[in-house]
Amino acid sequence: MATFIGIDYQTWWFLLIGAVFTGYIILDGFDLGAGALHLFFNKEESRRIALNAIGPVWDGNEVWIVIGGGALFAGFPEVYATMLSAFYIPFMLFLVAIIFRAISIEFRSKEPMAWWRRMWDVSYSISSALIAFLLGVVLGNVTQGINMGADHVFRGSFTEFLNPYALLTGVTTLALLMMHGAIYLVMKTENRLYAKLTVMVRNTTIFFVIMILLTSFYTLLYLPHMAAVIRRYPELFFVPVLMVLAIANITRQITKRKYMFAFISSAVTISLLMVLVAMELYPNMLLSKQDAAYHLTVYNAASSQKTLGIMLTVAAIGVPLVVGYTTFVFMTFKGKVELDEMSY
């Protein structure tokens, strides 16, 4: 089996795809969070500022899920095919929500009528919240596993994705991204809107802390396999410890009004949550509820060594480029939002 710096290609791709999805949740996460909070702003000017805070970057952020989907398709076609056909309904709703989020941002500013803007505000906010919620629902189902047999074809019912645990992870993800989005917006705003957002940051943080506590208890009680690795390797306990510290640091930085550091802590929290999930799943990617022998793993679901190798080359060239110009774009639009004639 081919390796790169002592790690086999399959594991590399497991890590890389995990990193891309983490990048998506951190980057598009603040867009989605800002969108979910949108209807809490009452004035037209506040809504425009909130929208233009993500205006120049949301499209670039959304691309991360396209890259992640493409990489999953290429690296682990079995997982891509099984997961998408199993979660048919949630993914279709997800796609429709992605369309509505995009066109709401685009279309809102094109007409001055109040009803027109209100209509797109509602559609923008609901679709953003729905995307965040569905991401959590899918994550909740991935951690529980799905009904699939030896042929890796989903045999369950299409309503089983709406189980209590998945609903819980859905709401937790929504809470996490609302907090993340509120912290992003508070960095981009001034004056009265800033003051309003400081309150929203506090409230969403409390909401998230409650939800993550509930999810953690539920996971430990009912999904013991999601703590098996830490039980086996107690030294890995530092990951959840770091996560709790990161969450604590969000509240600390918020109190000190250092929102940049709060945002970084919130990004670290998201990353550590993903690390926890990845650590407990590996080497599995999609669990079978029927039998552990039917799990899709990084080894039985991967593409050929040759393809994984080609893609590593592609990633080695592409990723630094993407990171480079993404940083450039973020630097261009850094600082507080200023509305001009090209704004949404």
Binding positions for other proteins, 157-176, rule CB under 8 A: 158
Candidates 15, 39, 102, 167; binder of other proteins (CB under 8 A) is: 102
Listed residue (337, 22, 44, 39) closest to 200, CA to CA: 39
- Find the shortest distance in angstroms from Cβ 225 to other proteins: 23
If binding is defined by CB under 8 A, does position 332 make contact with other proteins?
yes
State whether the Cα torsion 44-46-52-54 is positive or negative. negative
- Give the C-alpha separation, 7 to 186, whole Å: 41
Listed residue (200, 188, 176) closest to 37, CA to CA: 200
If binding is defined by CB under 8 A, does position 77 make contact with other proteins?
yes
If binding is defined by CB under 8 A, does position 48 make contact with other proteins?
yes
If binding is defined by CB under 8 A, does position 293 make contact with other proteins?
no
Candidates 53, 67, 212, 273; binder of other proteins (CB under 8 A) is: 67
Q: Is 322 exposed, middle or buried (0-12, 13-18, 19+ CB in 10 A)?
A: middle
x/- map, 266-285, other proteins, by CB under 8 A: --------------------
- Find the shortest distance in angstroms from Cβ 206 to other proteins: 32
Q: Report which residue type is found at 25.
A: I
Task: Give the 3-state secondary structure of residue 210.
Answer: helix
If binding is defined by CB under 8 A, does position 121 make contact with other proteins?
no
If binding is defined by CB under 8 A, does position 73 make contact with other proteins?
yes
Q: Report which residue type is found at 58.
A: W
- Find the shortest distance in angstroms from Cβ 242 to other proteins: 30
Query: To which residue do tokens 């645990």 refer?
Result: 165
If binding is defined by CB under 8 A, does position 28 make contact with other proteins?
no
Peptide bond before residue 112 is cis, with ω within 30 degrees of 0 = no
Residue count (the chain): 344
If binding is defined by CB under 8 A, does position 66 make contact with other proteins?
yes
If binding is defined by CB under 8 A, does position 310 make contact with other proteins?
yes
If binding is defined by CB under 8 A, does position 240 make contact with other proteins?
no
